[in-house]
Amino acid sequence: MWAAIDTAHERVRIETYIWKPGRVAERFLQALTAALQRGVKVQLLLDAFGSDGLPADYFQALHAAGAHIIWFNPSPLLRFSFRNHRKLMTVDRQLAVVGGLNIADECDGDGVTQGWRDFAVRLEGGIVAQLDESFERMLELARFTPIRLRRFARYFRWRRRHRPLSSANSGERLLLSGPGTRSARMPHALRIDLATARDVLVYAAYLLPTGRIRRAIRAVARHGSVRLMTGTQTDVPLVRWAAQRLYPFWLRGGVELYEYMPQVVHAKLIVIDDIVYAGSANLDIRSLRINYELLVRIHSPELAAQVRAAFADDCSRATRIDHDEWLRQRRWWQSWLSFGAYLLLVRLDPYLARRRLRRLA
């Protein structure tokens, strides 16, 4: 990302959920300032909930140099329910970077001895223009008022008429979720690919998929291979407790379940045969139904093989969960804690977000 900014000629756009002060953020500021001095246009779109810890004057120098800094959903009453969780950088409409990386020190490293385990993908070609267009639409929605939300919904209805979802395994396809989008498109594309899959692997920071996705993944294990990688460490302990509620479901269905030990798993990466899904969306209900997210569906045997090699390497640093042993070690209070966390994140959180959305619309 730093190298791409250093070679930019026209425009750099960065969209992120978390921007946290530190050495990584400082290097971005230096690279972006140098780009501005070369006459490059710089736009930053930051989520007001994820990046609310920044000092009020943090971007003062960058703004004075000519950068355009936009806060998504600045209303304190709406931040908790509706977040822009997307991570995207586009440069000169020629290349893009998508993945799970925030602008924070914990995202830098090899994922083994230093830094969270995460991935990003560099993209070129026609998909970059689509990603750039989606950035522009998020700029329009940034203030998150009812009238902007309705305009956003009209835009995605237009896209639905003119860009129908196809099941063809070719090129790249951009999938978006969030209020005003056709949110079912993302899980629908996953279910289409899972229906004929033979080999599935998943890196999941938060492993709480919808019921239909959950059943579709487990169905693959009946006649093929399914491997899931989550972590023993997490940045959101409540999500890990809720995810453990589903461990018996996975294990009884023949799914191989691994917990990565060295670092926090923050990755959002799915491989279905020769298809790779990469982007900001976790495999949970908030990402698939509530947050603004993006996934790029990439048909690439080479990229799929690269991810499988990384997964196999990570298995050597992970514990494979055994069903009987896990149940023997499980305490009653842990089961109740998982049950409560599951209800909170899978039932209550979506219910409250839907009520707030109806009031907005």
Burial of 69 (0-12, 13-18, 19+ CB in 10 A): middle
Is residue 316 assigned to a domain? yes
Residues 218, 306, single domain; the answer is yes
The pLDDT tens digits for 340-356 are 999 999 999 988 888 87
Residues 197, 316, single domain; the answer is yes
Is residue 120 assigned to a domain? yes
Residues 219, 117, single domain; the answer is no
Is residue 270 assigned to a domain? yes
**Closest C-alpha among 282, 275, 279, 283 to residue 295:** 279
Residues 122, 199, single domain; the answer is no
The pLDDT tens digits for 181-210 are 766 788 999 999 999 999 999 999 999 999
Q: Which domain holds residue 12?
A: 2-135
Share of the chain above pLDDT 90, in %: 79
CA dist., res. 49 & res. 34, Å (int): 28
State how beta strands 256-260 and 225-231 pair. parallel
Helix pair 146-162, 126-141: axis angle to 10 deg: 160
Residues 88, 197, single domain; the answer is no
Q: Which residues contact 270 (CB under 8 A, 6 or more apart)?
A: 190, 200, 201, 202, 203, 276, 277, 283
Burial of 75 (0-12, 13-18, 19+ CB in 10 A): exposed
Is residue 151 assigned to a domain? no
Is residue 346 assigned to a domain? no
CATH number at residue 198: 3.30.870.10
Q: Which of 135, 152, 177 is the last residue of a domain?
A: 135
Q: What is the mean pLDDT of the chain?
A: 91
Phi-psi label, residue 92: left if phi above 0, alpha if psi -120 to 50, beta otherwise? left
User: Cα 128 from chain centroid?
Assistant: 17
Given this model, what pLDDT does residue 157 score? 55
Evaluate whether 83 touches 16 at the Cβ level (below 8 Å): no
Q: Which of 135, 165, 184 is the last residue of a domain?
A: 135
The pLDDT tens digits for 240-291 are 999 999 999 999 999 999 999 999 999 999 999 999 999 999 999 889 888 9
Is residue 177 assigned to a domain? no
Q: Which residues contact 145 (CB under 8 A, 6 or more apart)?
A: none
CB atoms within 10 A of CB 3: 8
What total of structural domains would you count in the chain?
Answer: 2
Residues 107, 15, single domain; the answer is yes
CA dist., res. 194 & res. 202, Å (int): 12
Residues 91, 215, single domain; the answer is no
**Is residue 308's pLDDT more than 90?**
yes
The pLDDT tens digits for 135-176 are 999 998 888 766 666 666 655 554 544 343 333 444 799 999
The residue among 141 and 67 whose pLDDT is bigger is: 67
Is residue 176 assigned to a domain? no
Residues 95, 222, single domain; the answer is no
Q: Which residues contact 69 (CB under 8 A, 6 or more apart)?
A: 43, 44, 46, 59, 62, 63
**Closest C-alpha among 36, 58, 68 to residue 142:** 68
Evaluate whether 258 touches 227 at the Cβ level (below 8 Å): yes
CA distances to 34, 68, 123, 298, 316 from 4, in Å? 12, 19, 12, 21, 33
Given this model, what pLDDT does residue 239 score? 95
Given this model, what pLDDT does residue 254 score? 96
Is residue 168 assigned to a domain? no
Burial 114-140, CB ≥16 within 10 A → b, else e: ebbbbbbbebeeebbebbbebbebbbe
CA distances to 72, 264, 275, 342 from 237, in Å? 26, 11, 30, 12
Given this model, what pLDDT does residue 350 score? 87
Residues 205, 330, single domain; the answer is yes
Residues 120, 230, single domain; the answer is no
Given this model, what pLDDT does residue 164 score? 37
Block residue for tokens 């998982």: 338
Residues 209, 317, single domain; the answer is yes
Residues 204, 322, single domain; the answer is yes
Evaluate whether 308 touches 201 at the Cβ level (below 8 Å): yes
Q: How big is the chain, counted in residues?
A: 361
